[in-house]
Structure 1
Amino acid sequence: MISKAWMLSGILLAMPAFAEMQALDDDTLSSMNGQGGVYLSGEFSINKDGGVLWSKPASNTPSTWKASQRSCATAGPSTPENCGMRVAIRSEAGGGWYVLDNLKGVFSFEGLTLRTRTINSGFNGDGATFNQDVLEFGLPNEVKFKDGSFALRVANQGGWQNKSLSVENGGNTSYQSYQQTNIFSAKIDGTIRMQGNVLIFPQN
């Protein structure tokens, strides 16, 4: 039979030890090496209820819109729809624009990481020559979309304009050949699982 004294000794041995936390001085800190990073999870919405750049017109007939109005409803419906965010990128000074248009919805992610990484090997021998730190973004384990939508387009200028040529309707008489072509559009509800990372190299 196990005595009470032995039982008490066993309980005491199983208990964790506690110590007072103390600040490290500068000399101690300077002698320590470590590696850190950031692990992020969160949720954000982009123009879930429409953007602020344009108000929603009463109809889907462009010739009746004012300069401050725009509808992002798909072709055909008579009911107008609020527009989302527009991001336009010009790849070269004299070239056209790549446009991510009508971007809106709720996006959440888990496991986005950010850290520095030293590249001193690999990359077919270029890593040893490079021998510098880069930023490494670890892709989230999963990204969830709720009522997400976007359209990828090409245009001959970054800012959107009503195809109607009157100034009252948002046209521009000095830029009458405004053109924008839709490559594809998508609506997303669901979860995407991701793997890998993105490296950002510094450049002088």
Structure 2
Amino acid sequence: MISKAKALASCLLCLSLPVLADMQPLDDATLSELNGQGGVYLSGELSINKDGGVLWSIPLNNNPATWAATQRSCATPGATAPEHCGLRIAVLTEAEGGWYVLDNLKGVFSFEGLTLRTRTINSGFNGDGAAFNQDVLEFGLPNEVKFKDGSFAFGVANQGGWQNKSLSVANGGNPSYQQTNIFSAKIDGTIRMQGNVLIFPQN
């Protein structure tokens, strides 16, 4: 019985001894034999100009002829009170062409499960994948995106930046400015998404 207790104590003593090991660098040949996979899983909530942007101050009324050059209201036509404007994104599609604008973009949206990783494309795409044989960025779309008080307008304009055409040139206005909103939308709810987006590098 005593010999068994001594043997057990000796085993426990061996297990309690610290294990010392040095980190050693791997040579190129060893590294070339290793395969790894990684990525990023993102969740979050973004607020886009929820309380209005910083480019324009809000006027006292909704009559564009009385606004200063630094004032703008994005209230709906016929509204009695002015409203702050949201984010504006303008894209010039041709050197001498017009502008596509995403105007008055604001609201809160949240998502869970947006993934980001690299992916090797070496097959598929009607045979082009084998010739490509490079890494691309893959954005995996989240399962759900929730919108709260989201709104935007999509239109075309002859300039990227917004200008008040009702004011005189001396007051900072531009009578030649034109913008036509094709549609506007308000989003409140949940959108389900599937699939991914691939971003291909270009030399």
Query: Which category describes the TM-score, using the shorter chain as reference length?
Result: 0.7 to 0.9
Among 54, 57, 62, which residue is 1:55 paired with?
A: 57
User: Which residue type is aligned with residue 191 of structure 1?
Assistant: T
Instruction: Note the alpha carbon deviations across 1:135-186, whole angstroms, 9 max, x for none.
Output: 11111111111111111111011000112141355413xxx32110001111
Given that residues 135 and 199 in structure 1 are in contact (C-alpha distance below 8 angstroms), is that contact kept between their aligned partners in structure 2? Answer: yes
Q: Tell me the percent identity.
A: 79
Separation of aligned partners in 1, 2:161 and 2:181:
15
Where 2:26 maps in the other structure, the secondary structure is: helix
User: Which residue type is aligned with residue 136 of structure 1?
Assistant: E
Instruction: Note the alpha carbon deviations across 1:71-105, whole angstroms, 9 max, x for none.
Output: 00011112110000000001111111110000011
In the TM superposition, residue 21 of structure 1 has moved relative to its aligned partner by 11
Check 1:79–1:21 CA distance in 2 against 1; reply closer, same or farther (3 A cut). farther
Among 156, 159, 163, which residue is 1:157 paired with?
A: 159
User: Which residue type is aligned with residue 111 of structure 2?
Assistant: F
Map of 1:192 onto structure 2: 191
Given that residues 66 and 167 in structure 2 are in contact (C-alpha distance below 8 angstroms), is that contact kept between their aligned partners in structure 1? Answer: no
Where 1:27 maps in the other structure, the secondary structure is: coil
Given that residues 53 and 68 in structure 1 are in contact (C-alpha distance below 8 angstroms), is that contact kept between their aligned partners in structure 2? Answer: yes
Separation of aligned partners in 2, 1:87 and 1:124:
35
Instruction: Note the alpha carbon deviations across 1:96-124, whole angstroms, 9 max, x for none.
Output: 11100000111111110101111111111
Instruction: Note the alpha carbon deviations across 1:19-55, whole angstroms, 9 max, x for none.
Output: 9897853228835311111000000101100111001
Structure 2 gaps, min length 5: 1-17
Among 74, 91, 95, which residue is 1:72 paired with?
A: 74
Among 79, 82, 85, which residue is 1:83 paired with?
A: 85
Separation of aligned partners in 1, 2:22 and 2:63:
69
User: Which residue type is aligned with residue 71 of structure 1?
Assistant: S
Structure 1 gaps, min length 5: 1-18
Given that residues 108 and 143 in structure 1 are in contact (C-alpha distance below 8 angstroms), is that contact kept between their aligned partners in structure 2? Answer: yes
User: Which residue type is aligned with residue 127 of structure 2?
Assistant: G
Given that residues 67 and 167 in structure 2 are in contact (C-alpha distance below 8 angstroms), is that contact kept between their aligned partners in structure 1? Answer: no
Mean Cα deviation higher: 26-35 or 159-168: 26-35
Counterparts of residues 1-204 of structure 1 (less than 5 Å): 25-27=24-26, 30=31, 31-167=33-169, 169-172=171-174, 176-204=175-203
Given that residues 40 and 113 in structure 1 are in contact (C-alpha distance below 8 angstroms), is that contact kept between their aligned partners in structure 2? Answer: yes
Q: TM-score, normalised by structure 1?
A: 0.84
Check 1:124–1:60 CA distance in 2 against 1; reply closer, same or farther (3 A cut). same
Check 1:102–1:168 CA distance in 2 against 1; reply closer, same or farther (3 A cut). farther
Check 1:180–1:23 CA distance in 2 against 1; reply closer, same or farther (3 A cut). farther
Question: How many equivalent pairs are there?
Answer: 183
Given that residues 164 and 170 in structure 1 are in contact (C-alpha distance below 8 angstroms), is that contact kept between their aligned partners in structure 2? Answer: no
Check 1:142–1:22 CA distance in 2 against 1; reply closer, same or farther (3 A cut). farther
